[in-house]
Amino acid sequence: MPSFLRYALTPFLFSLTFATSTASADEGWWTFDNPPSKQLQERYGFTPTQEWLDHLRLSCVRLNDGGSGAFVSPHGLLLTNHHVARSQLQKNSSPQHDYLRDGFYAAAQEQEMKSPDLEVNVLVSLENVTARIQDALKNITDEKKALAARKEIIAQIERQSLQSTGLRSDIVILYQGGEYWLYRYKKYTDVRLVFAPEQQIAFFGGDPDNFSFPRYDLDMAIFRVYENGKPIASTNYLHWNVKGAADGELVFMAGHPGSTSRLHTMAQILAERDVIDPIVLSSARQRISVMKQYAAQGPEQARQAQSRIFGLENGVKSTQGGYNALLDPHLIAAKQAAESDFRKRVESKPEWHTEFGGAWDAIAAAESKLSSMIKPQYFRQLDSQLAGLALTIVRYVTEIKKPDGERLAGFHESELDSLRFSLFSPAPISKEMDQARLSGALAESLAQLGSDDEWVKTVLEGRSPDTVAAQLIQGTQLSDPKFRKTLVDGGEAAVATSTDPMIALARKIDPVARKMLKLYEDQVQSVTQSAGEKLGRARFLVYGNSVYPDGTFTLRLSYGRVAGYPMNGTKAPYKTTFYGLYDRAASFDFASPFELPARLKEARDKFDLNTALDFANSCDSYGGSSGSPVVNKKGELVGLNFDRNVEALGRRFVYQEETGRAIAVHSGAMIEALRKIYGAGALADELEVSSH
């Protein structure tokens, strides 16, 4: 960890900006109903029209595996990152075909490869339902009752919307409850892979180079979206600009930044630093170690584990970066100053003081309770895909019998379609790997919670983690999607009488888990939701709408400029070239993770190595922004966002203008690679049909 800690102290000295007050700089992931038009006009003399915004929004896609993408052709071609497609590549691979390692190209449409369980969403409408929800909560002062009423009204709005429109309908909570929006999505579930390069070039430099720049990754994948067995006709798609963007040019990014903490109170931030992050990091490192031991057993095990190891390592590096940011006293001081300013303004008016003044202390009290329950929350989990399926099935049959508003999160009427889609996924499950995961996690739970813990006793019954994992995994039939469907279709009776050991265990631990959840809802969630709503409303009163909400894995618009930055005593350039790829490989003597795929070696003299490969830009981004299209003022595709630099790892909490950068694949590099490296000229032609 020394190599991480070093960065901890650096990136936050200058140009810190905070979402809590008025955003300045190229900061923010803005909702499409509240675009940063004022900032864009002031900084760049550009104001997007409603048509421009609508076109971009409707061209964008959320991939529910956890990333973003965009339509790039009138026939459903969908561009995203290789590392967003990674999970589907893994699921489609086998000992015979390792598409993750070797890449994939469907030269003809009939070769396009269906993804087992990828759902993608297009945000077709947004509706502010804040008033409706606030109405339903009016006059309820008890926080637990408010929690229930909130659940109820949200489930109702979602259900009614789904029933009336047929569209996926999600309530999105923005500004910690300051606003509630109904987002309706056109949903696609027939998503077929057209092209992916080798992971070694998509993720060149591996974990070391992850979250760093200069970078030399061709982190792209192309799907085609089908409906009724045919490619969709996308009327909204981005035109491909092969020239890319120039140094200093204004660009935009539209995608789905995941959960962030920029509007969190100090109490919440300090809980992340002192309680949550250390547990998350230690547990993830433990899991990486288990997976690496598993992968070391042989090439097939390594193949199975590669996607999961990537995900865990990616998470650790990102979380550690955010954690490091919190260790920087300058960041803490600046956050404290921003909160003090907000609080002082609230206290300045007696009516604000009365309505909102207690919210910070209420959250602080709830966070202090959370601290004591975080460890059981975290380690009373079975880290196993099959165990996860078992618990979902056990809950499913019970929950759907309840009134919609009383169900557990994830089981509301509006969510069931997507849930079943993933529950019955035909993607193969390696029992061998799942057993290794489960065994390792059980050992960790035992170590962390002790053998007297109620949950540990229930699961282990005095046996060793290895024994329990072996018995559960070897005995269960849940790896068969048909078996899962039979259970679900059989309902409560089938589940209650099932002798499948994993189902049996899930039945036993579900009450313990529900008890924990109840405790969390009563003592923490109900309080922070109510107080969060107050602060959300107070923020609008104090700062107006010059604020953007924290990331919620929903569609946002960021803006910024293509730009290098001061780095490590010198300047990082705004872009890299293919020359740099060959340099970095050779400078490590082609040792892993810097080896060059064979196709790259062969193509060495077939194209101009001056071709731009990746570029840096100041658009605000976070996990979930992966795969976001980067567009110019004309709305043309100039790049494909895939990462941010180490200086931007604190973006969970702050935007760092001077050195924080998002990193994208250059639009020209993708076309050049398709044509010259992958012999995928037909695909390049299709992409370039309407290019500029």
Task: Give me the least distance between CB of 540 and its own copies, in Å please.
Answer: 33
Q: Which of 93, 199, 212, 261 binds its own copies (CB under 8 A)?
A: 212
**Contact with its own copies (CB under 8 A): which of 496, 586, 598, 689?**
586
- CB nearer to its own copies: pick between 46 and 590: 590
Identity of residue 631: V
426 binds its own copies (CB under 8 A): no
**Considering the rule CB under 8 A, would residue 209 count as an interface residue with its own copies?**
yes
Q: Is 607 in the site for its own copies (CB under 8 A)?
A: no
Cβ(375)–Cβ(448) under 8 Å?
yes
CB neighbours of 3 closer than 8 A, spacing ≥ 6? Answer: none
Cα distances (angstroms) measured from residue 539 to each of 227, 264, 534, 651: 43, 12, 9, 20
Mark the segment that binds its own copies (CB under 8 A) among 33-41, 108-116, 404-412, 580-588: 580-588
Among 169, 200, 260, 577, binds its own copies (CB under 8 A): 577
Considering the complex, state which of residue 303 and residue 661 has its C-beta at the smaller distance from its own copies: 661
Helices 501-520 + 481-497 axis angle, to 10: 70
Does 617 participate in binding its own copies (rule CB under 8 A)? no
281 binds its own copies (CB under 8 A): no
Please report how close the Cβ of residue 548 comes to its own copies at its closest, in angstroms. 26
- Hey, what are 1's tokens? 């960890």
**With CB under 8 A, what is the number of residues at the site for its own copies?**
49
CA 338 – CA 223 distance, rounded (Å): 43
Interface segment toward its own copies; rule CB under 8 A; list 167-175, 261-269, 416-424, 575-583:
575-583
The yes or no reply on residue 327 touching its own copies (CB under 8 A) is no
By beta-carbon proximity to its own copies, the closer residue of 173 and 646 is 646
- Residue 229 sits at φ, ψ, to 5 deg, of 80, 5
- What the block records as the tokens of 187 is 């949903």
606 binds its own copies (CB under 8 A): no
Minimal distance in Å, beta carbon 566 to its own copies? 4
Instruction: State the minimum distance, in angstroms, from the CB of residue 661 to its own copies.
Output: 12
- Is 460 within 8 Å of 444 (Cβ atoms)? no
**Of 609, 679, 690, 691, which one interacts with its own copies (CB under 8 A)?**
609
| 7 binds its own copies per the rule CB under 8 A | yes
Nearer to its own copies, 499 or 570 (CB): 570
Smallest separation, CB 605 to its own copies (Å): 9
Whether residue 244 contacts residue 667, with contact meaning beta carbons closer than 8 Å, is answered with yes
* Residue 494 near residue 381, CB atoms below 8 Å: no
* Shortest separation between residue 413's beta carbon and its own copies, angstroms: 45
Q: How far apart are CA 660 and CA 645, in angstroms?
A: 6
Sole window of 58-66, 95-103, 533-541, 581-589 interacting with its own copies (rule: CB under 8 A): 581-589
DSSP bridge partners of 128: 181
CB-count exposure of residue 13 (10 Å: 0-12, 13-18, 19+): middle
By CB under 8 A, residue 410 contacts its own copies: no
Among candidate residues 340, 331, 319, 257, the one with its CA nearest the CA of residue 15: 331
The answer to whether 32 and 557 have CB atoms below 8 angstroms apart is yes
Contact segment (CB under 8 A) with its own copies among 109-117, 386-394, 579-587, 634-642 equals: 579-587
293 near its own copies, judged by CB under 8 A: no
462 binds its own copies (CB under 8 A): no
Q: What angle do CA 176, 653, 537 make, to 5 degrees?
A: 25
- The dihedral built from the CA positions of residue 121, 124, 128 and 133, taken in this order, carries a sign that is negative
244 makes contact with its own copies (CB under 8 A): no
Rounded to 5 degrees, what are φ and ψ at 222?
-125, 125
Residue 516 falls in which region: left (phi positive, over 0), alpha (psi -120 to 50) or beta? alpha
Question: How distant, in Å, are the alpha carbons of 239, 525, 577, 659 from that of 74?
Answer: 10, 44, 30, 37
| Phi-psi group of 272: left, alpha or beta (phi > 0 → left; psi -120 to 50 → alpha; rest → beta) | alpha
**For residue 661, how many C-alpha atoms fall within 13 Å in the half-sphere facing its CB?**
26
Interface pattern 329-348 for its own copies (x via CB under 8 A):
--------------------
Among 584, 599, 652, 666, which residue sits at the site for its own copies (rule: CB under 8 A)? Answer: 584
Alpha helices in 2-109 (DSSP H): 2-8, 37-44, 50-59, 82-92, 99-102
For residues 148-207, which are near its own copies according to CB under 8 A?
Answer: 205
Query: Site for its own copies (CB under 8 A): which residue of 108, 164, 569, 592?
Result: 569
Q: Does 571 bind its own copies (CB under 8 A)?
A: yes
**Closest approach of Cβ 509 to its own copies, in Å?**
39
Candidates 268, 625, 659, 667: give the one binding its own copies (CB under 8 A).
659
Output 613 or 680, the one with its CB closest to its own copies.
613
Please report, as ranges, the residues that interact with its own copies according to CB under 8 A.
2-3, 5-7, 9-11, 13-14, 205, 208-212, 214, 247, 317, 321, 564, 566-571, 573-580, 582-584, 586-589, 609-610, 645-646, 649, 658-659
